[in-house]
């Protein structure tokens, strides 16, 4: 009998993909899922979405596996939705200091 393992999975709309290998530690799978979800949301949404034009957020889940087969019909843990955050530009500095006025 195979051991039960936890597989992190990130879903972008309807398409889901596994992240890394399945691990025996639930917390490690949860952290891996959160890290990948944050990375994907940041890359996908440079700006926050506006309006409702068929938009779907990035979400994550952890499923329990036994061998290659998923155990149960529902995920063990479902993460929140990630939208990314717009990066604010730092204040621009001049390359060299202003020249002193000549008197």
37-88: pLDDT as tens digits:
888 877 766 655 555 544 567 889 999 999 889 988 898 888 877 765 555 6
What is the CB-side half-sphere exposure of residue 20 using CA atoms within 13 A?
A: 19
For residue 87, tell me if it sits in a domain. Answer: no
pTM of the model: 0.68
Q: What is the number of structural domains in the chain?
A: 1
For residue 75, tell me if it sits in a domain. Answer: yes
For residue 92, tell me if it sits in a domain. Answer: no
Three-state secondary structure readout of the chain: CCCEEEEEEEEECCEEEEEEEEECCHHHHHHHHHHHHHHHHHHHCCCCCCCCCCCCCEEEEEEEEECCEEECCCCCEEEEEECCCCCCCCCCCCCCCCCCCCC
Domain that holds residue 23: 4-82
């Amino acid at each position: 009998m195979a051991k039960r393992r936890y597989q992190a999975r990130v879903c972008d709309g309807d398409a889901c993909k596994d992240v890394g290998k399945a691990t025996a530690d639930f917390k490690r799978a949860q952290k891996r899922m959160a890290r990948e979800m944050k990375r994907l949301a940041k890359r996908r949404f440079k700006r926050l979405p506006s309006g409702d034009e068929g938009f779907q957020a990035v979400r994550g889940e952890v499923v329990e596996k036994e061998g290659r087969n998923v155990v149960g019909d529902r995920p063990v843990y479902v993460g929140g939705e990630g939208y990314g955050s717009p990066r604010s530009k730092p204040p621009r500095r001049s390359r060299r200091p202003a020249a002193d006025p000549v008197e």
